[in-house]
Amino acid sequence: MNKIKTIILKEWAEVFKQRMVLFSVIFMPLLFTALPLIMLYATRSTGADGLTSEMPAQFNQICPEGLSGGECFQVFIVGQFLVLFLMLPLMIPVNIAAYSIVGEKTTHSLEPLLATPITTAELLSGKNLAAVIPAVLATWLGFIVYAIGARIMITNPVVFRALLDPMWLLAVIVVGPLMAVLSVNFSIMVSSRANDPRVAEQLSAVVILPVLALFFGQISGLFFINQRLIIVMALILLLIDALMIYLAVRLFQRETILTRWK
């Protein structure tokens, strides 16, 4: 455990000196928290009581009873932006993890590191946690700020419950970390093969695409995120994460990394 802790602290001490990483860990959660709050503020008095008929058909089914059209509109619009809280745990670790292996390669620090009695599992666990922990904490913190802001701005308890229902708590608390693990291991796999941190970062960003699809799918009314979808997502992510961890360890070939990389 000590070695894992050492790697985590070392990674943090190092990567948080990179401006891009710091930017992604601080600015993105700020932005993604501000967006739903701004939408909440902006839709407080839209006078959109008659708008529900223009919403996707699925929305009419899930719009809680007792809400006016304007409140339903508010729940719908803000709900779109809550998907951003699923995007955060994917985006933040990409920046951190992309530097984790390629950064060691470019500074030639990987060889002395691999010469220590650290196992591949310990090394990758350290690098995984170093990227997952800030991503998850930043996401949770952002969501807490959003919840507090929503509580202050929303007077109708039904609207507040609709925006903070257990589905979103499940999404942020369970799916978020699973997404972060997926993102980190994908980045580590890419990072183990790439020679440039920027290339690794760009390639790793591909992992965000499924959540973007989710975002646009919901906005265009193709489907609507509900509790069942979140549970299915969590189960699928669990399986994908297990596969990703297995592949990341398999692809992290000490010898290949040391001898083929120049």
Partner 1 sequence: MIKTTQLTKRFGDTLAVDQLNLEVQEGEVFGFLGPNGAGKTTTVRMLTSLIAPTGGSAVVNGYRVGQEDIHIRRTVGILTETPGMYDNLSAEYNLMVYANLYEVSNPAGQVEKYLRMLGLWERRFDEAGTFSKGMKQKLAIARALLHEPRILFLDEPTAALDPEAARLVRDFISELRREGRTIFLCTHNLDEADRLCDRIGVFKTRLLVVDTPDRLRSQLFGRKVVFHLRLADENFAQLVSELPFVRDAQVIDTKLLVTLDDPDTYNPEIVRKLVGAGADIQFVGELRHSLEDVYLRLVRNT
Q: Catalog residues that contact partner 1 under the rule CB under 8 A.
A: 2-3, 6, 10, 13-14, 17, 107-119, 254-255, 258-259
**Minimum distance from CB of 18 to partner 1 (Å)?**
8
Residue 75 CA to residue 63 CA, distance in Å, equals 8
Whose Cβ is closer to partner 1: residue 54's or residue 111's?
Answer: 111
Nearer to partner 1, 17 or 228 (CB): 17
Min dist. Cβ of residue 261 to partner 1 (A): 13
CB of 201 to partner 1, least distance (A): 18
Q: How far is the CB of 26 from partner 1 (least distance, A)?
A: 18
Taking the least distance from each CB to partner 1, the nearer of 107 and 220 is 107
Q: Minimum distance from CB of 72 to partner 1 (Å)?
A: 51
Closest separation between CB of residue 25 and partner 1, Å? 16
- Taking the least distance from each CB to partner 1, the nearer of 122 and 165 is 122
Q: Which positions ≥6 away from 173 have C-beta within 8 Å?
A: 140
Q: How far is the CB of 95 from partner 1 (least distance, A)?
A: 15
Instruction: State the SS3 of the chain.
Output: CHHHHHHHHHHHHHHCCCHHHHHHHHHHHHHHHHHHHHHHHHCCCCCCCCHHHHCCHHHHHHCCCCCCHHHHHHHHHHHHHHCHHHHHHHHHHHHHHHHHHHHHHHCCCHHHHHCCCCCHHHHHHHHHHHHHHHHHHHHHHHHHHHHHHHHHHCCCHHHHHHHCCHHHHHHHHHHHHHHHHHHHHHHHHHHHHCCCHHHHHHHHHHHHHHHHHHHHHHHCCCCCCCHHHHHHHHHHHHHHHHHHHHHHHHHCCHHHHHHHCC
Comparing CB distances to partner 1, the nearer of 89 and 126 is: 126
Of 61 and 259, nearer to partner 1 (C-beta) is 259
Instruction: Answer yes or no: are the C-beta atoms of 196 and 105 closer than 8 Å.
Output: no
Nearer to partner 1, 123 or 132 (CB): 123
